[in-house]
Chain A
Amino acid sequence: MSEAKEGQQHPLKIYLWIWFLLFVLSTFSYLVDYFHFHGLLRWSLIVTFMLLKAGFIVAIFMHMAWERLALKFAILIPPLCLLILISFMAIEGGYTFLTRGAAFLR
């Protein structure tokens, strides 16, 4: 396929940078727990660090950033269906909680 260079070849520096960033972000998410942040602040920090880490791993370590758009679409779009599953199950969970509250906690 590629004559001059085979597959995904990128400078080592970029991997070392991402590696470093993953360490920093993991430390941050650990500190969220260590300093007992709670409520909305805790959840938004956790999700932000999580999405950043996931993005770096997929984009750089798994080379998705350099793949063609066809592969990006084929792999990254289907998981969006999961958002529907998650929201349905969240609604269901809330409903079950309320029903249990009404039935057992009178």
Chain B
Amino acid sequence: MAHDAQVATLGPLRQVATDFASDKQAFSVPWGKAMMWIFLLSDTFIFTCFLTSYMNVRMSTTATWPFPSEVFALNLFGRDIPLILIAIMTFVLITSSGTMALAVNYGYRRHRRNTVLLMVATAALGATFVSMQAFEWTKLILEGVRPWENPWGAPQFGSAFFMITGFHGLHVSAGVIYLLTVARRVHVGFYEKRGSYETVEIAGLYWHFVDLVWVFIFAFFYLW
């Protein structure tokens, strides 16, 4: 084959690169988007490992598991409202997912001002979420929750809580920085000049994934 003969004349490393690339494209999307999806796939495995180990310790402990509904209750207006902070955090994150979806849409419409505003709004909501989480951590630490003990029951509760919500909070914090970086580039017209707003959509994928993970944490850790 003409192609093989041509490749055979290349230097050894060029040959490897050409063979592996083979000038083929498996996915009909920009490479950045395919790579973001693959990263999110690997992240899915990491979060599932956390949630699965949480399931395992919760099933195997003989001590009673602290009742999340009461642990995460807040005293508002003179009475305890169960899980209220977590519910508000959930709504904040969903709202941020909505603003992000609109930002992607306006980006593709070449509506720079709206894209920047919506992305900054998304980042602000993300920052709000992280601060509420910091408040929640502070409250629980003051009440005596540690990775190895807590006042209400199974000691594994603390390690599962800090590990799962901590890793998720880290993702949200990284997302806020990521979104602001991309928003700044939209603002200065970087993507306008390049003629493509796919980077906004890729950042959006990451952000929606963070929301997606929270859906599972909310269901399995807080509601179960």
Q: What is the distance, in angstroms, from B201's C-beta to the closest C-beta of chain A?
A: 6
> Are B82 and A86 touching (Cβ within 8 A)?
no
Q: A29-B223, A33-B69 are in contact. Are A85 and B52 (CB under 8 A)?
A: yes
Q: Interface extent on A, as a size class?
A: 35 or more
B91: A residues at CB distance < 8 A: 23, 26
> Are B219 and A93 touching (Cβ within 8 A)?
no
Bound Cα distance from A79 to B216, whole angstroms: 14
Bound Cα distance from A7 to B115, whole angstroms: 15
Bitwise, B27-40 to A at CB < 8 A (1) or not (0) is: 11110001001101
> Are B216 and A82 touching (Cβ within 8 A)?
no
Bound Cα distance from A90 to B54, whole angstroms: 10
A97: B residues at CB distance < 8 A: 59-62
> Are B62 and A104 touching (Cβ within 8 A)?
yes
Task: Verify if B140 is at the interface (C-beta below 8 Å from A).
Answer: no
Q: Interface extent on B, as a size class?
A: 35 or more
Task: Verify if B168 is at the interface (C-beta below 8 Å from A).
Answer: no
> Are A86 and B55 touching (Cβ within 8 A)?
yes
Bitwise, A87-105 to B at CB < 8 A (1) or not (0) is: 0011011101100110011
B100: A residues at CB distance < 8 A: 61
> Are A70 and B26 touching (Cβ within 8 A)?
yes
Task: Verify if B14 is at the interface (C-beta below 8 Å from A).
Answer: no
Task: Verify if B8 is at the interface (C-beta below 8 Å from A).
Answer: no
Bitwise, B142-160 to A at CB < 8 A (1) or not (0) is: 0000000000000000000
Q: Which of A16, A30, A90 meets B87, CB within 8 Å? A: A30
B205: A residues at CB distance < 8 A: 62
Task: Verify if B16 is at the interface (C-beta below 8 Å from A).
Answer: no
Bound Cα distance from A104 to B63, whole angstroms: 11
Q: Which of A30, A62, A86 meets B208, CB within 8 Å? A: A62
Q: What is the distance, in angstroms, from B140's C-beta to the closest C-beta of chain A?
A: 18
> Are B55 and A6 touching (Cβ within 8 A)?
no
Beta-carbon nearest neighbor of B60 in chain A: A96
A61: B residues at CB distance < 8 A: 97, 100-101, 204, 208, 211
A94: B residues at CB distance < 8 A: 59-60
Q: What is the distance, in angstroms, from B150's C-beta to the closest C-beta of chain A?
A: 19
Task: Verify if B48 is at the interface (C-beta below 8 Å from A).
Answer: yes
Bound Cα distance from A83 to B92, whole angstroms: 30
Task: Verify if B196 is at the interface (C-beta below 8 Å from A).
Answer: yes
Bound Cα distance from A93 to B88, whole angstroms: 32
Bound Cα distance from A5 to B196, whole angstroms: 11
> Are B94 and A79 touching (Cβ within 8 A)?
no
Beta-carbon nearest neighbor of B200 in chain A: A7
B94: A residues at CB distance < 8 A: 19, 22-23, 26
**Could you pull out 19 A-B pairs where Cβ atoms are within 8 angstroms?**
A12-B102, A19-B101, A23-B91, A33-B222, A50-B218, A53-B215, A54-B212, A58-B212, A61-B97, A62-B208, A70-B27, A74-B26, A79-B41, A79-B48, A82-B44, A85-B48, A85-B49, A96-B56, A100-B61
A30-B87, A105-B62 known; 4 new pairs, CB 8 Å cut-off, are: A9-B105, A42-B223, A50-B215, A68-B28
